[in-house]
Amino acid sequence: MPEPLTALPSDTARHIKWVFTDVDDTLTWEGRLPSQTLIALEQLQQAGIHVVAVTGACAGWCDHIAKLWPVHTVIGENGAFWMSKRDGQFITRFASSQAIMQANQNALKRQIQELLNQYPDIELAADQPLRFCDVAVNIGQDRPAVDPAICADILKNIHAMRVNGQTVHATQSSIHINAWVGEHSKRVSSEALLGTLSVALPSTVSDRLSADLSAAQPPLKANSTPLVYLGDSLNDEAMFEWLPLTIGVANIRQSLPNLTHKPTYITRQPGGLGFAEFADYLLQARQNSDK
């Protein structure tokens, strides 16, 4: 089981330079971005700590986050692309051909809409038209939460789908079931992003990186730059498995029995309040080391 955040050694905390984090119910809470979270993001940026939002959120929402929030980069739709605003430029980089992504998305959407005919109370996410790649089923955003057994049934049926002979990937967050065609994921695109920035990784770079993301990527050495991932849900498990230093915000407790790979530490507070708690712990460790 995860240890309390206070068990994280201060010497480790003060060396963290990269913070990768989920968004929904990790930076947000109860459908809003707490002021404490926005302040924490600003303080981390001012301290030279890079925050990368890694989310299943749609391209439209990611565009807003990348342009207006104090973050380094946003990886969206579970790794389909990343967006960043630096040096007066806004850049979007895709995990594979955008045209192919959208063709697969249209075919998958037809299958999922047919599946949802069996569930009259469940619809696609309201932001589906703002998505580049995935198809999102609304199981908890601005609506009562869908029964977990029904979510599991929908996931099982989506995993059985094929698009042009290709496997369909699907994962569940606190608000959506996200489905897509392609070998990208939160982890794969996080590795690729770090590679383009010449940041050393704590594990072997995945050989699944798409050609356009891994092109001209320098060889990476053993971990020399501490980084951490924060999450709250089932779709964060691959990140918990990958990185040695991971943190769950308090609301992840309900998902722990269903996680094979659990976060290393857990905050006292939920959602964005837990993120702010983590940021304060990290910054305090830096301040103490300077005394």
Mean pLDDT, the chain, whole residue set? 90
- Rounded to whole angstroms, the Cα distance separating 250 from 270 reads 4
Confidence of residue 211 (pLDDT cuts 50, 70, 90): very low
Q: Are residues 16 and 136 in the same domain?
A: no
Confidence of residue 214 (pLDDT cuts 50, 70, 90): very low
Tokens of 27: 């930076």
On whether both 190 and 177 belong to a single domain, the answer is: no
The predicted-structure confidence for 227-274, as pLDDT tens digits, reads as follows 999 999 998 999 999 999 999 999 999 999 999 999 999 999 999 999
Q: Are residues 124 and 264 in the same domain?
A: no
Q: Can you give the pLDDT at residue 288? A: 87
Instruction: Indicate whether 223 pLDDT > 80.
Output: no
Instruction: State whether 87 and 10 are in the same domain.
Output: yes
Range of the structural domain that residue 41 is part of = 3-96+184-290
Domain co-membership, 53 together with 135: no
From 133, 161, 181, the end of a domain falls on: 181
Q: What is the pLDDT of residues 180-200, one digit of tens each?
A: 999 999 999 999 998 888 765
Q: Is 207 in the same domain as 177?
A: no
Could you say which of 120, 146, 181 is where a domain stops?
Answer: 181
Count structural domains, the chain. 2
pLDDT of residue 200: 59
Cβ contact 219:235 at 8 Å: no
Query: Does the pLDDT value for residue 169 go beyond 90?
Result: yes
Residue 90 shares a structural domain with residue 189: yes
Q: Are residues 46 and 166 in the same domain?
A: no
In tens, the pLDDT along 20-78 reads: 999 999 999 999 999 999 999 999 999 999 999 999 999 999 999 999 999 999 999 99
**Element containing residue 51 per DSSP (H, E):** strand 50-54
Instruction: Say how far apart CA 88 and CA 170 lie, in whole Å.
Output: 35
Q: What is the mean pLDDT of residues 82-111?
A: 94
CATH of the domain at 47: 3.40.50.1000
Using the predicted structure, report yes or no on whether residue 202 has a pLDDT greater than 80: no
Same domain flag for 264 and 134:
no
Give residue for tokens 């990368």: 52
Q: DSSP per residue over 227-256, as a string? A: EEEEE-SGGGHHHHHH-SSEEE-GGGGGGG
Asked whether residue 276 falls in the same domain as residue 220, the answer is yes
Which of 166, 181, 196 is at the close of a domain? Answer: 181
Helices (H) and strands (E) in the chain, counts: 9, 13
One-character DSSP codes across 188-207: HHHHHHHHHTT---SSPPPT
What strand order describes the sheet that includes 166-172? 135-138, 176-181, 166-172, 162-163
- pLDDT tens per residue, range 115-139: 999 999 999 999 999 999 999 999 9
Q: What is the pTM of this model?
A: 0.87
Alpha carbon 101 to its chain centroid, in Å, reads 19
